[in-house]
Amino acid sequence: MSGETVHGQDEDILLELDDIECRYDDTPVIRGLSFRLRRGQVACLLGPSGCGKTTALRAIAGFEPVRAGEIRLAGEVISRAGYTMPPEQRRLGMVFQDYALFPHLTLYENITFGLRHQSRAERRARADELLELVDMRGMGARYPHELSGGQQQRISLIRAVAPRPRLVLLDEPFSNLDVDLRERLAREVHDIFRDQGVTAILVTHDQHEAFAVADQIGLLKDGYIEQWDTPYNLYHEPASRFVAEFIGQGVLIPATLRDHNKLQTEVGTLLGNRAYPWPDDTAVDILLRPDDVRFMPESHLRARVTNKAFKGAETIYTLRLESGRQVLALAPSHEVYPEGADVGIRIDAQHLVAFPREE
């Protein structure tokens, strides 16, 4: 889609997981996990608790053997059944949720810990450059306990980046921070990685964090990847019901397929933006996100406001249709509809995703 040649793309691939399996005792927790990551990209492994995110990251780091499949870094096999290249030979950077800074070392010493082979002047210059990048210039002589949690995590990030590792792995790096700081730091990390050309994989169960930081997201379910895609596509083009329900908000409403791309529903006949692969009269469910449902006072399609959640810039309304079914609708927060109000709506879905009905 980006217009690059296939040849260029292949050379760009830094990390490949090819059908890997990991087990604890004899229980498989990762099964048939595959993805490819290009140089300079930031990927997130996202998914519910226990789906195997941390295990996958540990396998990439070399702390967990793979029982089947292969992991390749820059074309070289680093893990396969019976062979695990030791973590220290993989030249990766790591960031954990608990910061793991050395408490008795200054920030300078922490940041330059992995740069022992460089001259003092080089180490100093690299530390200064990175401190500047996180707005902590002049703080190199401080100790970790003199910093806030957010500042400590910035230091552990730049410490991981300092030796220019081939790949940086981050395991729930922001989960000890409060929600606002978490998203701000996730955006900062995105900028730092972009600035430094870092390739990284971040594990999180927080989709807002994943959206803020990732070029690509792998949504895991029970040890395999349900969808590997851009944040935009995961939201607008979920490949399965699981993805549709895990990512963002929205509801599935019943529809009947007509003429390959028309969807007959209780909110009218909607024109899909694609030809669906099922025969006419197939019973499907379509996904309506809050941004697909617009308020339009003069509309014949009526609904009642049953709930509203103020989100700052916008409000998400829960509306009850005549059938009793509920949909969500988004409005700028200065546009106010009271609970109980009868409102007119129209459906304005650019992406009309449908799944065959499951009985």
**Binding-site ranges for ligand ATP (CB under 6 A):** 24, 29, 47, 49-55, 205
Of 33 and 185, CB closest to ligand ATP: 33
CB of 60 to ligand ATP, least distance (A): 12
CB of 57 to ligand ATP, least distance (A): 8
CB of 191 to ligand ATP, least distance (A): 26
CB of 218 to ligand ATP, least distance (A): 12
- The structure tokens listed for 337 are 């509809």
CB of 54 to ligand ATP, least distance (A): 3
Of 5 and 27, CB closest to ligand ATP: 27
Of 49 and 89, CB closest to ligand ATP: 49
Dihedral of CA atoms 75, 80, 86, 87 in degrees, nearest 10, equals 70
- Over the Cα atoms of the chain, what is R_g? 24
Q: Cα separations (Å) of 180 from 95, 187, 213, 355?
A: 20, 11, 14, 35
Residue 6, Cβ density class (10 Å: 0-12 exposed, 13-18 middle, ≥19 buried):
exposed
Of 51 and 133, CB closest to ligand ATP: 51
Of 62 and 272, CB closest to ligand ATP: 62
Of 87 and 254, CB closest to ligand ATP: 87
CB of 354 to ligand ATP, least distance (A): 29
Of 100 and 316, CB closest to ligand ATP: 100
Answer positive or negative: Cα dihedral of 20, 15, 198, 43: negative
CB of 69 to ligand ATP, least distance (A): 16
CB of 170 to ligand ATP, least distance (A): 13
Of 91 and 205, CB closest to ligand ATP: 205
CB of 220 to ligand ATP, least distance (A): 7
CB distance 352 to 286 below 8 Å = yes
User: Tokens 């050395």 sit at which residue?
Assistant: 102
Of 44 and 286, CB closest to ligand ATP: 44
